[in-house]
Chains A and B, each alone.
Chain A
Amino acid sequence: MAEDLEKTIKKVILDTRVEREHLLEILWSVQRSERKIDHNAIKLISKLTGISTLDIEATASFYHFFTEEHAGDITIHLNDSGTSYLAGATEVENAFKRELGIKFGEVTQDQRFGLFFTSCIGMCDQEPAALINDVVFTNLTDSKIASIISQLKSGIAIEKIIGEGEGNNALELIKSEISNNIRNSGEVFFNDKYVKGEALKNALTKSGDEIIAEVKSSGLRGRGGAGFSAGLKWEFCKKNIGDHYVIANIDEGEPGTFKDRILLTQYPQQIFEGMTIAALAIGAERGIIYLRAEYKYLKNYLENCLEEMRKANLLGEKIQSSSFNFDISIKIGAGAYICGEESALIESAEGKRGEPRNRPPFPVEKGFLGNPTVVNNPETFAAVTSIFREGADWFAALGTKESTGTKLFSISGDCERPGVYEFQFGITVEEVLKEVGAKNTFAIQIGGPSGKLISQKFFSRKICFEDLPTGGALTIFDNHRDLLKMVKLYMDFFVEESCGFCIPCRAGNVLLQKTLTKILDKKGTKQDIELLQECSSVMKIASRCGLGLSSSNPVTSSFENFPEIYDNLLSKESFVSTFDMSQAVAESCKYVNRENTFNQEGSHE
């Protein structure tokens, strides 16, 4: 066994050269073959790589998909995000438990199956969804699970069980049962105007500064959510000295967001070409695709696309017979929402724990391996490709003055046609709702959990950076949904995903989650509302990165726009105790064999 493991690790090392940045790859190879990364494996990796055992353990323990205990030969990860519950995840959860005879977080006695929860896997338009050994299963139902599990038990390979996917998902290299759900056509992304290499050839006639000037004049803002000017970011990066890097941030982990998945499936060349143009502008020779582990099913397909581009001399050495060299490699994450924060992503790409760095210095100054690095959303890179095909003026004429171009929207929740839409910036919320077939809409979570929960009074507002900014995720709730429960689910997510480095985020999210539970149990008082507000405001000031700075948004925005969902549940008393004596002594009574005669209040029955 140990020899096999050594072979497995050595194979990765041979493929990649032993450098710290490949640690995640090595850990993945061990997790995949051994179904766990225990201390023996860590000692072996340490021996073969020279990285200390403590360092390896610290890194492995950070990521959700790496486990110290055996995770089952077949590891099931069911998405437990809010949208999953809207679509009926509770039924699916029970079906898994029934079919396998174990609870979530457990492994069957014969170690064949492991059952776990995971955060949003980017399938919000086809929930409930689960990953089974990296294979995505969508639109799960009770009977579908019964069938899947019985087939797996009879030894049928996972790949043979899945249904047929839509569009490129049906390709041999992807072979997933996922639907793209592209719901409209658009000027920038959803059309067939793309001709491979056209934009890059155009860019190759310009100098770096000219390219940057063109991106600036197009008004393109980063598509991740913050909306920082892409041209300006490139300009800052170019000015700094070092080996420049270009990174595409495909750690699309914000629950409710899945548009990058569609870009990657249908239009990956446009992303790669945009990255190449960025590299040409700032003088980079190496690009990295940081792909979230949940999208690993796309890796072979993307590798193949890159290979085709190399063959067409759009990547590699002396691109289009110029002196420009650039190539792109793919790095896979291991399950950590925080790695969507650019400095955490860089740490993770370097093979370390995905903890955010102190900023400044920003990545444009000291990014990957301490070098000037541009990190952009894949949608930003794809937009760049269209700009160098159609021109900056064309792009700037789309959308609004401050928010040019079109935006991809991930639409999920209560509507007839969930999926991905391309709209020009400036579209009103109302227009979006009409387009997607949403009826009796009561609230919308705009921009994912770290965005805002908006009410009907916002529906006439325009979606753009001048008015209602968003990274493009809209989760729609109609009037029969329990909003406060959704808010609590969002807080469950942040409690799970906080990296734990700084106290405001580590403790604050837990306090918010516990207080919401108390209110949902009708034990909340006015004091608890004050605690929610106080705690949120501390987190917004004192957290170390964007996660903690924005994770209280579901609470603050729901309180601002839907105060009644709190008021209706509040107790009139000034204090309601959540303490239950009978429950608190149950464990010790059981252990010492004493009868538990306490009631909830603490008197003897």
Chain B
Amino acid sequence: MANKPIVATASLAGCFGCHMSLLDIDERILDLIQLVEFDKSPITDIKNFERKCDIGIIEGGCCNSENVENLKLFRKNCNILVSLGECAIMGGLPAMRNGIPIQECLEEAYLNGVTVDVGDEPIIPNDEELPMILDRVYPCHEVVKIDYHIPGCAPNADLIWDFLTTLVTGKDLELKYETLKYD
């Protein structure tokens, strides 16, 4: 039991779709927990790193300062760090704002957008507790060293399963053509 690799996961600027896909391995999750032990993760609801982990899995890229801090924390506490899915690898949908000035983005989201409730006096949120939004959405590997990239939006459950089992059993992973081709 003590020798099982310890896995931590996080969702940064993502939609939790990659985590959903992880859960999509269905009953194999029972086999998985025979192989690995989950630590800090939305799945376990463990909030802080209490020990060094073997594998860190990151969903989403970095769109604000907190994402960067979180990612750096994972890098510090995990031996192997994995970018899971399009957003972590390339920024994904959130990166569609790249190239649009911050001011325009914030004003569209909080002042002028069609979903802004016109009954209130709209404001741009600026509480000290809130992290700062970055000039663009960064893929994880531009911020820290990433050891593996698992493609997909979201990567399908079988791929995640294959990846984790080959990683912990030390085998080679073969990326099938379908996992890289989406059209």
Point out residues on A near B: beta carbons under 8 Å.
574-575, 577-579, 581, 583-589, 591-594, 598, 602
Interface residues of B in 7-30 (CB under 8 A from A): none
Assess whether A578 is in contact with B65, with CB atoms less than 8 Å apart. no
Evaluate whether A577 and B132 lie within 8 angstroms (CB atoms) in the complex, with A591-B102, A598-B65, A602-B65 already known.
no
The 3 closest A-B pairs by CB, nearest first: A575-B145, A585-B132, A584-B134
Q: How far is A583 from B138 in the complex, measured between Cα atoms in Å?
A: 13
| Interface flag for B44 (CB, 8 Å) | no
A591 touches B135 (CB 8 A): no
CB distance from B148 to the nearest CB of A (A): 13
- Known A594-B126, A602-B68; judge A579-B138 contact (CB<8 A): yes
Tell me, yes or no, whether B69 is within 8 Å of chain A by CB: yes
B65 touches A585 (CB 8 A): yes
Kindly list chain B residues whose C-beta atoms are within 8 Å of the C-beta of A583.
Answer: 135
Additional pairs, 5, CB under 8 Å, beyond known A585-B132, A594-B132: A575-B144, A578-B142, A579-B142, A586-B135, A593-B126
Q: Does B48 contact A (CB under 8 A)?
A: no
Contacts of A575 in B (CB 8 A): 144-145
Q: If A581-B68, A594-B126, A602-B69 touch, does A588 touch B135 (CB 8 Å cutoff)? A: yes
Closest A residue to B103 using CB positions:
A591
A589 to B102, CA, bound (A): 10
A-B contact pairs, 8 of them (CB 8 A): A575-B144, A579-B138, A583-B135, A584-B134, A586-B135, A587-B101, A588-B133, A592-B126
Closest chain-B Cβ to A516's Cβ sits at a distance in Å of: 16
One digit per residue, 1 when the CB lies within 8 angstroms of any chain A CB and 0 when it does not, for chain B 131-155 equals: 0111110100011110000000000
A591 touches B68 (CB 8 A): no
Give the residues in chain A near B145, CB-CB below 8 Å: 574-575
Nearest CB in chain A to that of B145: its residue: A575
Nearest-CB residue, chain B, relative to A594: B126
Partner of B68, one of A579, A586, A589, A594: A579
Interchain CB contact under 8 A, B132 and A588: yes
Q: How near does chain A come to B92, taking the closest CB pair, in angstroms?
A: 15
Whether A577 contacts B143 in the complex (CB less than 8 A), given A585-B65, A602-B69, comes out as yes
Asked, given contacts A591-B102, A602-B68, whether A584 binds B135 with beta carbons under 8 Å apart, the answer is yes
A593: chain B residues within 8 A (beta carbon) = 126
A403 vs B132: C-alpha distance when bound (angstroms): 64
A577 and B142 contacting across the interface, CB-CB below 8 Å: yes
B65 pairs with A577, CB closer than 8 A: no
Range of interface residues on chain B? 20 to 34
Contact assessment for B103 and A577 in the assembled complex, using a CB-CB cutoff below 8 Å: no
Can you name the residue of chain B whose Cβ is closest to the Cβ of A597? B132
Which of B65, B106, B134 touches A591 (beta carbons < 8 Å)? B106
Residues of A within 8 A of B124 (CB): 591-592
Question: Nearest residue in B to A518 (C-beta to C-beta)?
Answer: B142
Report chain A residues within 8 Å CB of B144: 575, 577
Q: Which residues of A contact B133 (CB under 8 A)?
A: 585, 588
Chain A residues closer than 8 Å to B132, beta-carbon distance: 585, 588-589, 594, 598
In the bound complex, CA of A588 to CA of B126 (Å): 10
Shortest Cβ distance from B134 into A: residue: A584
Give Cα distance in the complex from A574 to B102, angstroms.
Answer: 33
Point out the residues of chain B lying under 8 angstroms from A588, CB to CB.
Answer: 102, 106, 132-135
Complex Cα gap A138–B67 (Å): 51
Given known contacts A574-B145, A579-B68, is B138 in contact with A584 (CB within 8 Å)? yes
Residues of B contacting A589 in the complex (Cβ-Cβ under 8 angstroms): 132
Of residues 112 through 138 on chain B, the ones whose CB sits less than 8 Å from some CB of chain A are 124, 126, 132-136, 138
* B159: min CB distance to chain A, Å: 21
Among B102, B126, B138, B142, the residue within 8 A (CB) of A587 is B102
Q: A575 CA to B133 CA in the complex, in Å?
A: 25
CB contacts under 8 Å to A, within B29-87, are: 65, 68-69, 72
The chain A residue with its CB closest to the CB of B131 is A585
Q: Closest residue to A527 on the B side, CB-wise? A: B145
State whether B135 touches A581 (Cβ < 8 A).
Answer: no
Instruction: Tell me which residues across on chain B come within 8 A of A591, comparing CB atoms.
Output: 102-103, 106, 124
In the complex, chain B residues whose CB is within 8 Å of the CB of A594: 126, 132
Residues from chain B with a CB closer than 8 A to the CB of A581 are 65, 68
**Nearest chain-A residue to B125 (Cβ)?**
A592
Q: Give, as a whole number of angstroms, the nearest-CB distance from A519 to chain B.
A: 15
**Chain B residues within an 8 Å CB radius of A574:** 145
**Measured between alpha carbons, how far is A591 from B134 in the docked complex, in Å?**
12
Q: Which residue of A lies closest to B128 (CB)?
A: A594
A578 to chain B, nearest CB (A): 6
Residues of A within 8 A of B126 (CB): 592-594
Residues of A within 8 A of B103 (CB): 587, 591
Q: Which residue of B lies closest to A591 (CB)?
A: B103
Instruction: Please indicate which of the listed interface residues B101, B102, B124, B142 has the most CB atoms of chain A within 10 Å of its own CB.
Output: B102
